Amino acid sequence: MSSYVPNGWCVEKLDQISRVIDSAHKTPIFSETGYPMVRVGDIKGGKVTLENTKYVPQDIFKIFTKNHLPTFNDLLMTRVGSYGRCSIVKSKREFCLGQNTVVINPKSVDSDYLYHFLQTENINNQIEDTVGGSSQKSLSLAAIKSLNILTPIKPEQQKIAQILTSVDEVIEKTQAQIDKLKDLKTGMMQELLTKGIGHSEFKDSPVGRIPFEWKIVKLRDVAVEKGLQTGPFGAQLHAHEYVEQGIPVIMPKDMKKNRVVTGTIARITSDKAEGLERHKVKIGDILFSRRGDIGRFVLIEKKNEGWICGTGCLKARLNDSIEPSYLASYLNLLPVVEWLNNNAVGQTMLNLNTSILSELPVILPPKNEQKTIANTIESLDLRTSSLYLKYEKLQSIKKALMQDLLTGKVRVNTAQTTALYASDVNAPT
């Protein structure tokens, strides 16, 4: 922990400003009804909701809460696995704690302030310096009690917590909007990709009932000649040939939400890329992961054109009978993902090859209907992407605010300061 302490602030041990109570007991036999028991897996996402917890009968509940009954504004922390993970109780419903968890009952510190401070890098560093264990690291009760907490006076704690909580609320609302759009997309995809638009006659297919006039083909039928291709083998592309600047090489790790991400993408020189001409990608190509996470794929966009299909990938170049964006939507259907997994080969790790991929059943509506379906789904993707950008911006704002406010680098003594941060959080994206 930094030795710098802002004027008017102090450093206190966690057990000086709160009670820290361990849940030292064996796992009970659960019941269908009774009182919720919060376990390690339930302490995540910041707030305890009690929605998916196990239940214990009343006699067990009384034993497990004899030292302390967790209550509104208490904090919960995990001791093993994802140790140090913390949530704040915002429910007035009675519950008890499972193994390897502690309850932190704030006394002379604002609960919301303490919750936010326990999320800081400062606390994370303190925890990492104290965890023990070889195969499964654990956080001791003594280490939790000894955590150093930087505390301003109570009104300043409350102001800081108010600002950070307001950001959290906007983040939660944004996440809820994203989740709602994802659910809408899932339902809409299932509807459009199996029932189409305005059809009344249907037939059976590998993905369920589909419009009678739609065709059932194989992936090889919608690919150009020799359009299914394996990425370069190890002898063609070595790890030592990667450079910091150059032509990106798309690997399975670079596939996220059916698009290419470049955060850790490998690159090769232009000269090396020329030697891999047959592995260059074009707009509308689809790259599949050929081992491990079967079903992962990306649709190649204009910005990716000329990049290289990397080792561990299969490339599909499509003919004019199918819209690439339609096929990308189709590949997300659960029956399609299941088909790929069921037909992949390998014992320890599943693998795809061009022969297997060529046999993938593809439902083929008329071209104009493909475009309508693809455009409808793409509009949802664009709305979701916009919300993801907002979500990431809010996370960055939250991180910066925590660094400024919870270290005393920026002091919050005036209403103007609060208004400044509020305007930043709620700024349009």
Give bridge partners of residue 125 from the DSSP assignment: none
What is the percent of the chain where pLDDT is above 70?
95
DSSP assigned state of 365: -
Same fold, 10-151 and 215-364: yes
Q: Which two tokens stand for residue 96?
A: 């008890």
Q: What is the mean pLDDT of the chain?
A: 90
pLDDT in tens, 123-167: 999 999 988 666 678 899 999 999 999 999 999 999 999 999 999
Residue 334's contacts (CB-CB under 8 Å, 6 or more residues apart) are none
pLDDT in tens, 49-59: 787 888 999 99
Mean pLDDT, residues 90-106 taken together: 92
Mean pLDDT, residues 50-70 taken together: 89
Q: Which contacts of 15-19 are long-range, i.e. CB under 8 A and separated by 24 or more positions?
A: 15/145, 15/146, 16/108, 17/106, 17/107, 17/108, 17/109, 17/114, 17/149, 17/151, 18/75, 18/104, 18/105, 18/106, 18/107, 18/108, 18/109, 18/114, 19/68, 19/104, 19/105, 19/107
pLDDT in tens, 311-362: 899 999 999 999 999 999 999 999 999 999 999 998 788 899 999 999 999 9
Which whole-number Å values give the CA distances from 388 to 177, 230, 384, in the listed order? 10, 32, 6
Which whole-number Å values give the CA distances from 395 to 117, 168, 169, 401, 424, in the listed order? 16, 9, 12, 10, 12
Q: For the chain, how big is the Rg over CA atoms in Å?
A: 27
User: What would be the CATH architecture of the domain defined by 215-364?
Assistant: Alpha-Beta Complex (3.90)
pLDDT in tens, 218-245: 999 999 999 999 999 877 888 889 999 9
C-alpha distance across the termini of the chain, in Å: 35
Q: What is the CATH number of domain 153-199+372-429?
A: 1.10.287.1120
Domain ranges of the chain: 10-151, 153-199+372-429, 215-364
Handedness of CA 124, 125, 131, 136 (dihedral sign): positive
What confidence category does residue 415 fall into, taking pLDDT thresholds of 50, 70 and 90?
A: low
CATH topology of domain 10-151: Adenine-n6-DNA-methyltransferase TaqI; Chain A, domain 2 (3.90.220)
